[in-house]
Amino acid sequence: MKGWTGNILRVNLSNKTFRKETYGEDFATKWVGGRGFTLKILWDELKPGIDPLGPENKMIVALGPLAGIPAPNTGKTVVAAKSPLTGGYGDGNLGTRMTEQLRKAGYDALIVEGVAEKPTYLYIEDDKVEFLPADEVWGKGTYETNDWFYKKYGRGVGLLTIGPGGENKVLYAVIRSMEGRSGGRPGIGAVMGSKNIKAIVTKGTKEIPVADPKGIKEVGLGDLKKVGDLDKRTGWSKQGTTGVLAWCNEMAALPVRNMRKTFHPDAWKIDGERLNAARIATYGCPNCTMRCGIAIRDHEGREAEMDYENIGMLGSDLEIFELDQVASLNYLCDDLGIDAISAGAVLAFYADAIDHGAIEGDFRFGDAEKAKELLKLIVKRKGVGDFLAEGTMRMAQKIGKGSSDYAMHVKGLEISAYNCKFIPGMALSYGTSPIGAHHKESWVITFEIKYTTRESYGREKAEKVIELQRIRGGLFEFLPACKFPWVELGWGLEHYPVYFNKITGLSWTFDDFWKVSDRIYSLMKFFWAREFPDWDRTRDYPPMAWFDPANADKDGIIAGKVLELDKYNQLLDHYYDIRGWDKRGIPTKKTAKDLGLEEEAKEVEKFIKLEE
């Protein structure tokens, strides 16, 4: 078997043991890697109903055939666990040197189970695993933690860390790497913290097994340069992801004031052009020639690396339009190790609930200094911070008074920075995203405006959402690789089967890839259904605020318009029908059989009856 090491490293923290396990071609070709591996392992090994922050949960780190190979944007690693934020399947990807180092150490995946007795870090070097004390860095921010490990092991090691947010089990704590990189929005950092693991350090010296080393080197390195040239020619990375902020403001899709509004006259103060003008450094992931991490000086003079989602949620959604203050909030989230998107959404919801008299408090939209104080309280879980650390879904459950309607999440994961009050297809993308509301799975706003109409709830929108989920949530998550060359620069999708086949020696076509994508999406739904046997389609709804006419914009291009629930249900019907899922949104037995999920269907039927 070429293209995969065939090895998984299993580490047990409770008894400080480890062992190398092997897998064969059947597993490799059925699940490929990345998200496919993490999902299947968690499905097989977790008992439903376990406490996500208890010893029975497992944290999985997984790579795949493209990981670490010199080719466009192959520096991605997937981290996953049962999510403490949503209670369902949770994962995320991040660009990190861990990708290459773990593969060179001889593994395609790492399973971390049990709980360490004391704060610990794992040191993995090829066949060796050490459990080492992390007392010196426990409690430290991720920047200082990174430096500490770099000094000890050198900058070239693979390194995943958590900040105080993960240590104190903030439900939206993330895993961090290489200063600016974060992954695992659904609280995977909290799972790592619950296991008393501050960091995983990896160094590898082995060859990554590849079927055609000369071929992939020639094509991969050549294409890396071509992608870099394309970026230079188009000027995309001058603003990177942040260019979309000004466009969202024009299209009435910007999150403003807990998504109550869709545009703001001051949005230009925090847009991509202002960011580029303030740039002091640029960062990127390994094997990337279109680096999108734009760093600026924050209000306190520190270097903060920004992207669109963070600016949208910590800036416009909180009505903070001073770029250096938004940078400060961004810096704090990164250093404290919490997800900037969810943190922004939590603060916005808190301010909104106070504004509506649902809860007492002294935080108001636009108050950057108070927002900083709150972020620090959140990671310490002190005072109101303990309440805010639980995420919007649980906050709303505690507040009551109808606040769930404007708690901006799906399945417990906070909505990222696209306000879909009147964008039905994108609302469907968020509604059906298999880890809760995340833009990484599918993004259809341009399609809705350019190729159809915003008003449409037609089948073509459900088809487009699924097409993009197969590519973005499937292909790029199981190879895994960063989608930016394709999604932002138009780098042809046809390159990816070429890379894959040169690495594995197989002759796969897109049909093979899409079957894996569909298999993964259906098994993710089984995972949720097994955890929540009372599952129904309302869990695939976006927040009710987007359907509330009283919440419509008063002026602008979508004045008076909101989503319509009966039409959203029609759109959801189209989506389920195309996927071969029933009206509850659960795969049928036939779909499971077609996708090779017969055993998984039998397992889920112990909890919930499937339709034929």
Partner 1 sequence: MKVFVRLIGPVAIKLGFNEKELEVPEGTKLEGLFRLLKVEPVLPMIITRNGKSIEPEDKLQSGDRIVIAHVYSGG
Per DSSP, the three-state class of 140 is: coil
Considering the complex, state which of residue 233 and residue 606 has its C-beta at the smaller distance from partner 1.
233
Using the contact rule CB under 8 A, the part of the chain among 30-38, 161-169, 400-408, 437-445 near partner 1 is: 437-445
Residues 6 or more apart from 7 whose CB is under 8 A from it?
Answer: 20, 21, 22, 23, 106, 107, 108
Nearer to partner 1, 151 or 233 (CB): 233
**Cβ atoms within 10 Å of 153's Cβ, excluding its own:** 16
Q: Among 75, 193, 243, 436, which residue sits at the site for partner 1 (rule: CB under 8 A)?
A: 243
State the Cα torsion 330-480-432-411 to the nearest 10°. Answer: -50
Token pair of 139 as six digits: 């409690």
Query: CB of 95: closest distance to partner 1 in angstroms?
Result: 13
Nearer to partner 1, 277 or 550 (CB): 277
User: Among residues 490, 492, 533, 560, which is the contact residue for partner 1, using CB under 8 A?
Assistant: 490
User: Considering the rule CB under 8 A, would residue 424 count as an interface residue with partner 1?
Assistant: no
Distance in angstroms (rounded) separating the CA atoms of residues 49 and 63: 27
In the block, tokens 């002026």 appear at 555
**581 DSSP assignment:** B
Place of tokens 């606040």: 403
Within 8 A by CB and 6+ apart from 551, the residues are 260, 406, 421, 545, 562
- Which one of 252, 275, 288, 572 is in contact with partner 1 (CB under 8 A)? 252
Other beta carbons within 10 Å of 355? 16
Select from 270, 558, 597, 601 the one that contacts partner 1 (CB under 8 A). Answer: 558
Candidates 47, 151, 214, 233; binder of partner 1 (CB under 8 A) is 233
What's the CA gap between 474 and 520, in Å, rounded? 7
Contact pick of 82, 439, 464, 589 for partner 1 (by CB under 8 A): 439
DSSP-based three-state secondary structure for 9: strand
Whole-angstrom Cα Rg for the chain? 22
Q: Within positions 297 to 336, which residues make up the interface with partner 1, using CB under 8 A?
A: 307-309
Q: Which is nearer to partner 1, 352 or 553 (CB)?
A: 553
Considering the complex, what minimum distance in angstroms separates the CB of residue 240 from partner 1?
A: 9
DSSP label at residue 269 = G
Which region, judged by CB under 8 A, interacts with partner 1, from 21-29, 334-342, 374-382, 451-459? 451-459
Rule CB under 8 A: choose which of 234, 565, 577, 611 binds partner 1. Answer: 234
Q: Is 560 in the site for partner 1 (CB under 8 A)?
A: no
Of 4, 37, 418, 500, the one binding partner 1 by CB under 8 A: 418
| Length of the chain measured in residues | 612
The 3 state secondary structure assigned to 14-63 is CCCEEEEEECCHHHHHHHCCCHHHHHHHHHHHCCCCCCCCCCCCCEEEEC
C-alpha torsion sign, points 366, 369, 370, 371: positive
Which of 24, 222, 235, 596 binds partner 1 (CB under 8 A)? It is 235
Least Å from the CB of residue 326 to partner 1? 17
Q: Measured from the CB of residue 358, what is the shortest distance to partner 1 in angstroms?
A: 31
- Distance, CA of 177 to CA of 163 (rounded, Å): 11
Q: Is 609 in the site for partner 1 (CB under 8 A)?
A: no
Distance CA 584, CA 576 (A): 8
Q: Near partner 1 by CB under 8 A, which window of 29-37, 71-79, 237-245, 298-306?
A: 237-245
Instruction: Count residues near partner 1 (CB under 8 A).
Output: 37
Among 23, 172, 236, 387, binds partner 1 (CB under 8 A): 236
Contact residues for partner 1, defined by CB under 8 A? 233-236, 238-239, 241, 243-244, 246-247, 250-252, 272-273, 307-309, 418, 439-440, 443, 445-446, 449-451, 453-454, 484, 487-490, 557-558
